[in-house]
Amino acid sequence: MRREAPQKFSDYGPLFFPAGMLIVFFVVPFATMIAVSFFRRDPAGFYSPDFVFDNYARFLSLFFGKVLGFSLFLAVMVAICCVVLAVPFTYLLSRAKRKTQVLWLVALLSILSLSEVIIGFAWSTLFSRTAGITNLLVMLGIMNEAVALNPSFGAVLTAMVYQALPYTVLVLYPALVRLDPTLTEAARTLGASPMKSFFTVVVPALRNTIVATLIMVFIFALGSYLLPQILGRPQHWTLSVLITDQAIYQSNMPFAAAMAVFLVLVTLGLVALTVYAGRKGEAA
């Protein structure tokens, strides 16, 4: 049976429910959010319809600039750490026995699906004074006294790398499995060490994949909203935290919506860049 163009009206039948659901519960809410970003805040209730740019004008403050700058910096750091750790790991994984691969994939998926709340709680335990990792160092005689390691920037970064690492591996996995094994075999035959063939053959061959992965992990990290709250100080709060804060605790929906629209624009710009990087990769 060939794929045929729909002829009768009833051929469109299967599309009605999915299309309806996606339009009503995704497109419409999205449009509502954009509309609200131009509304005026109503201290008594949620907001009142209007058309003002005040919410966007607030971006121009120093405070907002700092938060945005920090969010971008944090996401870049997470993306770099994850890719640096994940590329060699995924490469080794893609060359491992099938059984080993499946085992790791199950473990990675289990951690990837863990709630941010749970990851935050687990790391706050690991960084705590009474049950934390410093107790281990005391036991080994490296430290004199157990200390709390959070709230701190390092704690936020570590937990976010933990959260994003399985994602990074799973994004890289298909590309690395498909990588032609004869490439490295050739390099080895010509006398390159495994390390050397990895850095001179595998990494350059995957250049575009790596760039695309960096951007995807960056977007993923940009979405983190709980870890900076649980493990960081207020100066470590990101744009996502601020949006939640404004929407829920300050009841300033229009400002939250304006920030969200801004975040969408940043994300879409990056997705476009990823697609562009991917296209270029295929052409090469």
Partner 1 sequence: MNALLQKVYFGLVGLFLSLPIIVVAGVSVNEKQTLAFPPQGFSLGWYGEIFTNSEWRSALFASITLAALSAAVALLIALPLAWFLWRRHAPWANIFQLLGIAPFTLPPVITALGLLTFWATTGFYGQPATAVISHAIFFVTLPLVTLSLGFSSIDRSLVEAAATMGADDRTIFRTVVLPLILPYLISGYAFAFVLSLNEYIVAYMTIGFTMETLPIKIFNALRYGYTPTMASVTILFVAIAATIFGLVARFGDLPKLLGAMSSRD
Residue carrying the six token digits 């509309």:
35
Q: Is 53 in the site for partner 1 (CB under 8 A)?
A: no
Q: Is 22 in the site for partner 1 (CB under 8 A)?
A: yes
Which of 68, 215, 231, 253 binds partner 1 (CB under 8 A)? It is 253
53, burial (CB in 10 Å: exposed 0-12, middle 13-18, buried 19+): exposed
Quickly count: other Cβ atoms within 10 Å of residue 263's Cβ: 20
- For the bound state, the minimum distance from the C-beta of residue 7 to partner 1, rounded and expressed in Å, comes to 10
CA 215, CA 222: separation in Å to the nearest integer? 10
- Number of residues engaging partner 1 in binding (CB under 8 A): 93
> 148 to 187, contacts with partner 1 by CB under 8 A?
162, 165-166, 170, 173-174, 177-178
CA 239, CA 235: separation in Å to the nearest integer? 11
Q: Is 264 in the site for partner 1 (CB under 8 A)?
A: yes
- For the bound state, the minimum distance from the C-beta of residue 174 to partner 1, rounded and expressed in Å, comes to 3
Please choose, out of 52-60, 76-84, 128-136, 147-155, the segment that lies near partner 1 by the rule CB under 8 A: 128-136
- For the bound state, the minimum distance from the C-beta of residue 212 to partner 1, rounded and expressed in Å, comes to 13
Quickly count: other Cβ atoms within 10 Å of residue 230's Cβ: 18
Which of 59, 64, 225, 276 binds partner 1 (CB under 8 A)? It is 225
> Reduced to 3 states, what is the DSSP secondary structure of residue 225?
coil
Give residues with Cβ within 8 angstroms of 49, minimum separation 6: 39, 40
> 81 to 120, contacts with partner 1 by CB under 8 A?
85, 88-89, 92-96, 98, 101-102, 104-111, 113-120
Distances in whole angstroms, Cα of residue 38 to Cα of each of 26, 49, 195, 240:
19, 8, 55, 19
Q: Is 25 in the site for partner 1 (CB under 8 A)?
A: yes
